[in-house]
């Protein structure tokens, strides 16, 4: 088996490293020639994963034609750029097994990763790789377990091929449920970060996580997913990790907002666009997602943090 990773961000680099460390042939594609040079000559992604030593077996390229020669391709692009990439390169991706590693909902189409793969690469085998795993942990050889979602008959083989010595994959055929868990936990993480940044306490964070998880399951049911999928690694597992560590870009974004700081605009925070996309989706569908709608309004500057807290606390009391 040959593996390519499209996208040399921190997570893409970490996944590529986990395969290369097991002695597999891995190619990672990067737009930047500087990143390609750093990975190939210094064995380090100095711009996205500085200080992490990469295997000499990991080879970087800026040639998409070269990178797409592999039969298994991990799509590690930012969610808001995935659709455009698939549209522009669909010829190169024909007949491949494409594993979406993005976590979010596209703002333009209100679509998740699996829908974009099926739309722009209909003759490919689509899959979703998601769950709790910080890039530095994975690249540093620390263990984790994640979810591989694939409805194709080849899924068990793919599970074996993509598991590594540090990434244990659990299989599901519920692609929508798995991708929703990865997308929506980022929204909840922003809210949790804001709560802690504002000094509202651990109890408030626990409440936000719990009610946020309820929203995740509610939307999953509406979109035809199995809500139990979200009790696994792709939902509850990823939610727990992302809402409790400043390694999470979404949590850090929320923390900065809560502390009255300006979040770093150079850092991709998938939960911002996802909150806005899901708020539109929920409004159109008549699904009540108050936490998500509050995060969307907060990130757009439509409400202050004080107004956000007041709005959530003043909602009518009801059964859990």
Taking all residues of the chain, what is their mean pLDDT, rounded to a whole number? 96
pLDDT tens figures, 181-234: 999 999 999 999 999 999 999 999 999 999 999 999 999 999 999 999 999 999
Q: Is residue 262 part of a domain?
A: yes
Marked catalytic residue, from 96, 103, 185, 252:
185
Answering whether pTM is above 0.85, one says yes
27 with 95: CB under 8 angstroms? no
What is the pLDDT, as a whole number, of residue 273?
97
What is the pLDDT, as a whole number, of residue 29?
98
Please name which of 101, 185, 106 lies closest in space to residue 135, comparing C-alpha atoms.
101
Domain of residue 134 covers 3-173
The band of 315, judged by pLDDT with boundaries at 50, 70 and 90, is confident
Which tokens in the block code for residue 131? 């769950």
Residues 156, 85: Cα–Cα separation, whole Å: 28
194 and 80 both lie in a single domain: no
Q: Which residues contact 33 (CB under 8 A, 6 or more apart)?
A: 62
12 and 50 both lie in a single domain: yes
> At which of 125, 151, 173 does a domain end?
173
Is there a catalytic annotation at residue 72?
no
188 with 236: CB under 8 angstroms? no
Please name which of 182, 175, 180, 188 lies closest in space to residue 220, comparing C-alpha atoms.
180
CA dihedral 244, 207, 190, 169 (to 10 degrees): 50
Q: How far apart are the first and last CA of the chain?
A: 48
What average pLDDT does range 245-257 have in this prediction?
Answer: 96
Q: Is residue 318 part of a domain?
A: no
Per-residue DSSP letters for 125-158? Answer: EEEEEESS--HHHHHTT--EEEEEE--STTHHHH
Please name which of 119, 109, 112, 252 lies closest in space to residue 180, comparing C-alpha atoms.
112
29 and 162 both lie in a single domain: yes
37 and 134 both lie in a single domain: yes
284 and 147 both lie in a single domain: no
> At which of 127, 148, 173 does a domain end?
173
pLDDT tens figures, 233-246: 999 999 999 999 99
The band of 89, judged by pLDDT with boundaries at 50, 70 and 90, is very high
Which tokens in the block code for residue 144? 């984790």
Q: Is residue 320 part of a domain?
A: no
In the DSSP assignment, the letter for residue 100 is E
Q: Is residue 190 part of a domain?
A: yes
If 0-12 CB within 10 Å is exposed, 13-18 middle and 19+ buried, where does residue 128 land?
Answer: buried
228 and 287 both lie in a single domain: yes
What average pLDDT does range 264-285 have in this prediction?
Answer: 94
Q: Specify the CATH number for the domain of residue 205.
A: 1.10.1040.10
Q: Do you know the residue count of the chain?
A: 320
Q: Specify the CATH number for the domain of residue 128.
A: 3.40.50.720
Q: Which residues contact 69 (CB under 8 A, 6 or more apart)?
A: 2, 4, 27
7 and 152 both lie in a single domain: yes
């Amino acid at each position: 088996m040959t593996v390519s990773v499209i996208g040399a961000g921190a997570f893409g680099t970490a996944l590529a490293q986990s395969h290369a460390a097991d002695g597999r042939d891995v190619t990672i594609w990067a737009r930047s020639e500087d990143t390609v040079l750093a990975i190939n000559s210094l064995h380090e992604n100095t711009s996205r994963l500085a200080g992490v030593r990469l295997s000499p077996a990991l080879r970087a390229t800026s040639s998409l034609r070269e990178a797409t020669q592999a039969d298994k391709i991990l799509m590690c692009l930012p969610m808001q750029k995935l659709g455009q990439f698939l549209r522009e390169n669909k010829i190169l991706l024909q007949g491949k097994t494409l594993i979406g590693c993005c976590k979010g909902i596209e703002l333009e189409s209100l679509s998740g990763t699996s829908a974009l793969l099926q739309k722009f690469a209909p003759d490919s085998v689509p899959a979703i790789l998601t769950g709790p795993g910080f890039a530095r942990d994975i690249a540093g050889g620390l263990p984790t377990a994640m979810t591989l979602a694939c409805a194709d008959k080849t899924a068990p083989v793919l599970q074996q091929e993509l598991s590594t010595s540090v990434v244990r994959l659990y299989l599901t055929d519920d692609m929508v449920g798995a991708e929703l868990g990865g997308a929506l936990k980022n929204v909840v993480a922003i809210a949790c970060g804001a709560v802690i940044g504002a000094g509202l306490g651990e109890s408030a964070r626990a409440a936000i996580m719990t009610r946020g998880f309820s929203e995740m399951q509610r939307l999953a049911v509406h979109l035809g997913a199995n809500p139990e999928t979200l009790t696994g690694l792709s939902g509850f597992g990823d939610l727990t990790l992302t809402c409790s560590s400043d390694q999470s870009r979404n949590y850090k974004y929320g923390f900065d907002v809560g502390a009255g700081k300006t979040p770093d605009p150079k850092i991709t925070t998938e939960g911002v666009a996802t909150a806005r996309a899901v708020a539109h989706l929920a409004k159109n569908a008549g699904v009540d997602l108050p936490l998500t709608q509050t995060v969307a309004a907060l990130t757009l500057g439509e409400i202050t943090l004080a107004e956000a807290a007041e709005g959530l606390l003043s909602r009518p009391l009801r059964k859990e």
